[in-house]
Structure 1
Amino acid sequence: MPALVRIGRTLRRTLLQAVPTMLGIVILNFFLLQLAPGDAADVMAGEAGSATVETMAALRSRFGLDNPLLTQLGHYLSNLMQLSLGFSPRYGMPVADLIAQRLPGTLTLMVVALMVAILIGVVLGSLMATFAGRLPDRVLSVFSLLFYSIPSFWIGLMLIVFFSVKLGWLPSGGAGTIGSRLTGLPALLDKARYMVLPATSLALFYVAIYARLTRASMLEVKNQDFVRTAYAKGLTPFGVTARHILRNALIPITTMAGMHIGGMLGGAVVVETVYSWPGLGRLAFEAVMGRDFTVLLGILLLSSLLVIVANAAVDLVHAWLDPRIGAR
């Protein structure tokens, strides 16, 4: 089957599944958030220090918080049909504009962390599979278990203590030098310095997963008949590993990478809070504390969309790695 036909079939199947999935996510998230105590009016009144009953009623009426739940849901779905995510009572601006300000920082952090995790995880997993049962495999397995077991916030704090406080090599928080007017390559390098620690903190947990998964997948693929055939043809061990073993072992790794998009966004809440990184994770934390459920719904909707897009990309990668998958 031609490659374009496989890709078209994969995209069509993904789109048909995405629409009802997104609708179900929106409705479920809406009702779950209504179970939380309080609302934005309560928080705004608390921050002001005092508020009368009339003031509270006026705030709720202004933002539609006093309407029945089904009416609020209907208004929200109507706004979505008009490509609007609503208005934030706490920030006093459209949710779409608020998310647009924070989205680039989170996407950059997630992409860098995921690339680092996959690259280092695959390299370590390949070494573990090559020296399976020997000392290098055992040492790397211990480190993988440590990275998997230690919470990301603790790793983040220890990285700050070591690289920022003790050595002074890297900044402890933020996304760039305050007041800097750098442009071009110097500006890029300045932002890269601020991203090293947060991206490392977010990636280390997933490095352990990809390393163990790569090891298990490569050991399984090594026993397949086509690998023995490749060796019988006189191919070098490196050629067999790179062209046959590793390529087939990447299928479960790409599957897990697509599944980890949502989990990585959840982990970004902790990492962005520790490093004061201006992203969606920190915005979600602020929205929860401020009971700004409109902002939180927008973030959850966007997160779900990112997961669906990531899974669609994974399906396309699978169709490229193994044509038999795209032909189904």
Structure 2
Amino acid sequence: MLIWTVLRRLIYSIILVVAVLVLNFLLIHLAPGDPADVIAGEMGGATEEVMASIRKAYGLDQPLYVQLWVYLKNAAGGDLGQSFFYNAPVLDLILSRVGATLLLVFTALGFAIVAGTALGVIASRKPTGIVSNLVTVLSVIGYSAPIFWTGIMLIIVFASLIPLFPISNMYDVTKDVGPVGYVFDVAHHLVLPAFTLGIVYLAQYSRLTRASMLEVLGSDYIRTARAKGVSERKVYGRHALRNAVLPIITIAGLQFGGIVSGAVLVETVFNWPGLGTLAFDSILARDYPTILGILFFSAVIVIIANLITDLLYRVADPRIRMAK
């Protein structure tokens, strides 16, 4: 049953990936502008003959449906094309940057889920208390503040006024600190970007956990457990939290695409060498193959995250596993 579910999800995912490839290709190529002009601009200008040769070299002289077919055929074989701007294979560019983005995204998401769930559980113990109200206020502030504004404020406070953390790059290229020192250096550079990206989602998870916990704590089986003399720690940890965490798993999977897109702003603010800065530079240069490759990888990451979320949901809730 589980194998058939996974297989069916994989088939749907492949269809969705193809649809994303087609839609992204059409949207990018229907946008105004000519990448040949950008390439010629990098060369200091070019004649009409040179412009024609540039378009022919990159296949831009072909009809749109021919370019789409060639792109889909090459993508199926793992070839995402050659970057106009970087003059390098798009796949190599993405693979060199995707690790930094995934590190940032998973760190921010893990921080948001753990801290947000903990704050939500604490707030649910006394819904009208000072701690609960404080969590609510901080959640509203964290959710309302734009990501780039939060990043700039953190840079001003913790890199300028109180110089505790670096403000750019993933590590200090001027230091030779060895493997262990490199890990600590990356972690040091990761603090501000991950906190900036995670604070928005932390606010959502704290509010969601608080609401779910309050709903679960009012259930009959919770009252029965308390009547049997089960300790409050077991009531909250073993009974209430396990059921309250189900909406959090769902929202985490659905929001994964949002947190990947939010990483573009964070990487730009902190000059983090991930897919966000690569996408930003490629958009300015109208580098079609690189933009399409980044969108493709982002879509694949989101689809895989949703598939994993669906499987985790079945593990967390036995009722779904037993449902026909």
**TM-score, with normalisation over the residues of structure 2?**
0.97
Q: Which runs of 5+ in 2 are unaligned?
A: none
What count of residue pairs does the alignment treat as equivalent? Answer: 323
CA distance in 2, matches of 1:293, 1:72: 12
Structure 2 residue 47 is matched with structure 1 residue 52: yes
Give 1:122's match in structure 2, choosing from 117, 129, 145.
117
For the 8 Å contact 1:10–1:326, the answer to whether it is kept is no
Secondary structure of 1:38's counterpart equals: coil
2:34 is aligned to: 39
Say whether 1:297 aligns with 2:298: no
TM-fit CA distance, 1:35: 2.3
2:75 alignment partner AA: L
Name the structure 2 match of 1:30. 25
SS at match of 1:184: helix
Alpha-carbon distance in structure 2 between the residues aligned to 1:289 and 1:327: 51
Q: Which consecutive residues of structure 1, in runs of 5 or more, have no partner in the other structure? A: none
Structure 2 match to 1:275: 270
Amino acid at match of 1:104: G
Is 1:104 equivalent to 2:99 in the alignment? yes
Q: Distance in 2 between matches of 1:57 and 1:131?
A: 71
Match of 1:181 in 2: 176
1:251 aligned residue: 246
Runs of 4+ in structure 1 displaced over 6 angstroms? none
Compute the displacement of 1:239 (Å).
Answer: 0.3
Residue matched to 2:140: 145
TM-score, structure 1 as length reference: 0.96
Q: The residue matched to 1:91 in structure 2 has which SS?
A: coil
Q: CA deviation at 1:216?
A: 0.9
Deviations 1:99-158 (A, max 9, x none): 000000000000100000001100111111112022211111011000000001011011
Write the distance in 1 (CA, Å) between the matches of 2:56 and 2:136. 58
Deviations along 1:51-94, one digit per CA (max 9) or x if unpaired, are 21111111111001111110000000110221211111211111
Where 2:178 maps in the other structure, the secondary structure is coil
1:163 partner amino acid? F
Q: Do the aligned residues in 2 keep the contact of 1:40 with 1:90 (CA within 8 Å)?
A: no
Does structure 2 conserve the Cα–Cα contact (< 8 Å) formed by 1:113 and 1:199? yes
Deviation, 1:168, is 1.1
1:214 pairs with one of 185, 201, 209: 209
Q: 1:158 aligns with which of 153, 177, 180?
A: 153
Q: Using the alignment, how far apart are the partners of 2:225 and 2:109 within structure 1?
A: 32
Distance 1:48 1:157 in 2: 35
1:276 counterpart letter in structure 2: N
How far apart are 1:325 and its partner, in Å? 1.3
Match in the other structure for 1:92: 87
Shift of 1:162: 0.7
Match of 2:57 among 56, 62, 68: 62
Whole-Å Cα distance in 1 between the matches of residues 34 and 205 of structure 2?
41
Superposed CA offset, 1:159-185 (max 9, x none):
111111111111111110123222222
Q: CA deviation at 1:36?
A: 1.6
Q: Does 35-44 or 243-252 show the bigger shift?
A: 35-44
Instruction: Please give the per-residue CA displacement for 1:15-67, whole angstroms capped at 9, x wherever unaligned.
Output: 12111111111111111112221132111222333221111111111001111
Aligned: 1:16 with 2:11: yes
Q: What is the percentage of aligned positions where both structures have the same residue?
A: 44
In structure 2, relative to structure 1, the CA distance for the partners of 1:145 and 1:36 (3 Å cut) is same
Shift of 1:324: 1.4
